[in-house]
């Protein structure tokens, strides 16, 4: 009864369920000036990724009926896309508030939609997933402490400064490798930062950690950023102290 009511409500809202004229990205620069607001997506979860990113990744590196893991599920963008595309997904996050949001975002009827499982947990310890269970890992961790996702959750990696974060990402890489089937793919989006005017190449440091865990690098994609403000405070300072505003992130696709 409840789901019939929900389905009628959603139909009445005339939601656009999938992107119009979607085309798969064909080269190593991905640019989404319109971040995408089909289905239940919105930009309200701080630092969430554009749904175009998981859509491209899921279509290229997984098949219908596969099991996908997003162990930094956040606001649920990957989960919604997996459901729409008929992939089964396990979303994990340390933050119960994020998981509530994931639940809400995935609560829509979809014919032949993939299963969505949501679980509170820590990406460094996925011992509830058997070895070589997953067909694809598609995830977006915090960029160390650049954006803080919680106040007091100890296991939240967005509380870690640069060095501690890299140390903990070794466990994330090792668990990602363990749960993935041989020959399958693991995609990670990561950004860089600046300290005292110089670049800190956090993304390449994380890339090296995944290579050390045993992965090979299938693709290195530059994802442009559109929220980089070249006005006011940042413009004045970038001219005064002569530095460039960071306007891209790196998307790595690894193979086991
Ligand atoms: C960049 S956000 C993910 C956003 C997501 N891609 C989306 O579109 O909504 C990173 C998430 O990692 C979570 N997180 C931080 N430390 C974690 C850990 N140790 N294990 C699992 N999740 C963690 C945070 O709570 C946050 O929700």
Q: Is residue 215 part of a domain?
A: yes
Q: Residue 99 corresponds to which tokens in the numbers above? A: 């998981």
This prediction has a pTM of: 0.94
Q: Give percent of the chain with pLDDT exceeding 90.
A: 86
DSSP state of 158: G
Mutate to test the pocket of ligand 1, among 101, 156, 159, 160 (most ligand atoms within 8 A of CB): 156
Per-residue pLDDT, 126? 98
Mean pLDDT of the 94-101 span: 98
Mutate to test the pocket of ligand 1, among 44, 127, 149 (most ligand atoms within 8 A of CB): 149
Q: CA end-to-end span of the chain, whole Å? A: 45
Q: Are 191 and 179 in contact (CB under 8 A)?
A: no
CATH of the domain at 209: 3.40.50.150
Q: Is residue 14 part of a domain?
A: no
58 alpha carbon – ligand 1 mean position (Å): 19
Q: Are 187 and 61 in contact (CB under 8 A)?
A: yes
Q: Is residue 11 part of a domain?
A: no
User: What's the structural domain count of the chain?
Assistant: 1
Q: Are 252 and 190 in contact (CB under 8 A)?
A: yes
Of 9, 99, 111, nearest to 1 by C-alpha is: 9
Torsion angle (degrees, nearest 10) of CA 66, 71, 72, 77: 20
- For 119-157, how does the pLDDT look when each residue is reduced to its tens digit (9 = 90+)? 999 999 999 999 999 999 999 999 999 999 999 999 999
Tell which atom from ligand 1 comes closest to the C-alpha of 45. 9
237 pLDDT band, cuts 50/70/90, is confident
Q: Which helix (H) or strand (E) holds 248?
A: strand 248-255
92 within ligand 1 shell (Cβ under 6 A)? yes
Mutate to test the pocket of ligand 1, among 45, 93, 121, 173 (most ligand atoms within 8 A of CB): 93
Q: Are 93 and 103 in contact (CB under 8 A)?
A: no
Per-residue pLDDT, 251? 98
- Neighbouring CB atoms inside 10 A of 239's CB total 9
Per-residue pLDDT, 234? 76
Q: Residue 84 corresponds to which tokens in the numbers above? A: 């729409």
Q: Is residue 249 part of a domain?
A: yes
Boundaries of domain holding 43: 28-255
**Mean pLDDT taken over the chain:** 94
Q: Residue 144 corresponds to which tokens in the numbers above? A: 């160390």
């Amino acid at each position: 009864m409840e789901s019939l009511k929900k389905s009628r409500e959603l139909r009445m809202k005339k939601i656009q369920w999938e992107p119009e004229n979607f085309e798969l990205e064909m080269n190593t620069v991905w640019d989404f000036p319109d971040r995408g607001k089909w289905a239940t997506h919105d930009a309200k979860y701080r630092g969430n990724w554009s749904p175009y990113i998981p859509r491209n990744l899921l279509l290229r590196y997984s098949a219908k009926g596969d099991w996908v893991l997003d162990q930094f599920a956040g606001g649920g963008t990957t989960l919604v896309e997996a459901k729409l595309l008929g992939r089964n997904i396990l979303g994990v996050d340390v933050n119960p508030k994020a998981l509530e949001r994931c639940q809400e975002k995935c609560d829509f009827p979809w014919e032949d939609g993939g299963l969505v499982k949501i679980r509170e947990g820590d990406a460094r310890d996925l011992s509830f997933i058997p070895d070589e269970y997953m067909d694809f890992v598609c995830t977006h961790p915090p960029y160390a402490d650049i954006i803080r996702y919680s106040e007091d959750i100890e296991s939240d990696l967005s509380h870690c400064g640069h060095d501690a974060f890299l140390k903990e990402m070794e466990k994330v890489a090792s668990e990602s490798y363990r749960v993935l089937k041989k020959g399958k793919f693991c995609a990670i989006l990561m950004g860089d930062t600046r300290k005292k005017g110089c670049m800190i190449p956090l993304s390449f440091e994380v890339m090296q950690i995944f290579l050390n865990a045993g992965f090979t690098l299938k693709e290195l994609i530059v994802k442009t950023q559109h929220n980089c403000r070249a006005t006011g405070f940042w413009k004045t300072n970038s001219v005064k102290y002569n530095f460039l505003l960071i306007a891209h992130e790196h998307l790595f696709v690894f193979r086991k």
